[in-house]
Amino acid sequence: MKNRTRGILATQSGVKAETIRYYEKIDLMPEPARTQGGHRLYEDMHLQRLRFIRRSRDLGFTLDEIRELLSLVDGQQVSCNKVQHIAEAHIKDVREKIADLRKIERTLRDMSSQCSGKNIPDCPIIEILQHC
């Protein structure tokens, strides 16, 4: 389907219209054609690109990483080696975040175990948070 409105593009891609507008503003999405009245008309390539961005975001890629991937696609210089390098760097970041989340979980579990859970004014969790 050609000549979609932003609303139709949003529905078909699963990306909110405001997010599409933002992606256009930061140049992740190419400028669509416009009608005589100035209304944006999105084509299949916009939908395909938006789905690529959405799937990349779902996997936790940053906007800069997505921009880098798209630059390879746009320049028709896709190289599995280059893409793998970007993915491996992202995997490293994900592993670091997982390790950080595990530390947070342990800390919260330790704090929670110090709490009696009773309806009393002295709460060890509040004490710990106030004195960190």
Residue 22: both structure tokens together: 């933002």
Q: What is the pLDDT of residue 1?
A: 59
Q: What is the pLDDT of residue 49?
A: 96
Residue type, 54: R
Across the chain, which has 132 residues, the per-10-residue mean pLDDT values are: 88 96 95 89 95 96 95 84 93 96 93 81 83 76
What distance separates the 2 farthest-apart alpha carbons in the chain? Answer: 68
Q: Which residues contact 46 (CB under 8 A, 6 or more apart)?
A: 4, 9, 29, 30, 32
Total-model pTM: 0.79
